[in-house]
Amino acid sequence: MLRGSKIGLRARHDEDIPILRAELADDVVNSSRAAPGPWRPFTPGSPEAPFAVDDKEQRVVPFSVVELDGGTLVGAATVWGIDTHNRSAHIGLGLLPSARGKGYGTDVVAVLCHYGFVVRGLHRLQIDTLADNAAMLRAAEHNGFVREGVLRAASWVMGEFLDEVLLGLLAEEWKPDAKP
């Protein structure tokens, strides 16, 4: 497990999937804001369902986010779009509603940076988030990510187009507060 100050990132366990589906994927508004496409229901056990893990897929690394104090599941995090030639990837996370507002997001981003830069040897990490996602913007900027651009009206979410913000961080710019 990779450890931050408050959370740990570990492999996704089978018992995590129903909780993540119920609290994140089955929430139509939350899922619509987080996914690149429209929300749709998935049959339980479907290999295409959100949070299902394909260990053979090399361009995506899914994690479950757990509290260090007690090991309670509090969310999911992903390193995705891994490009081994350009040594870059995207990161993302979703916290269960009961875990929001506790500083976990900032800690998750820090641990994902450690994984990307130290464990994987990547050169660049990117975050794509909706412009009104203040929590993710704070977590990213606290960890040194720089706003690189805005894609105006780029995401169709629940009946309206929203701006998307792109943030980037290079390995040489990363300044970890503490080693995870």
Tell me: pLDDT of 180 over 70: no
End-to-end CA distance of the chain: 10
Confidence of residue 177 (pLDDT cuts 50, 70, 90): confident
> Where do the domains of the chain lie?
2-173
What is the C-alpha to C-alpha distance for residues 25 and 75, in angstroms, rounded to an integer? 11
Average pLDDT value for residue range 134-140: 97
Both tokens of residue 55?
């260990």
Both tokens of residue 129?
């988030």
For residue 144, which of 171, 178, 165, 179 has the smallest C-alpha distance? 171
Average pLDDT value for residue range 61-80: 97
- Phi, psi at residue 22, to the nearest 5°? -65, -40
What is the C-alpha to C-alpha distance for residues 35 and 75, in angstroms, rounded to an integer? 15
- pLDDT of 100-135, one tens digit each? 999 999 999 999 999 999 999 999 999 999 999 999
Q: Which CATH superfamily is domain 2-173 in?
A: Gcn5-related N-acetyltransferase (GNAT) (3.40.630.30)
Confidence of residue 11 (pLDDT cuts 50, 70, 90): very high
Residue with tokens 């997001």: 105
- Decide: 31 and 50 in contact? Cβ < 8 Å: yes
Confidence of residue 75 (pLDDT cuts 50, 70, 90): very high
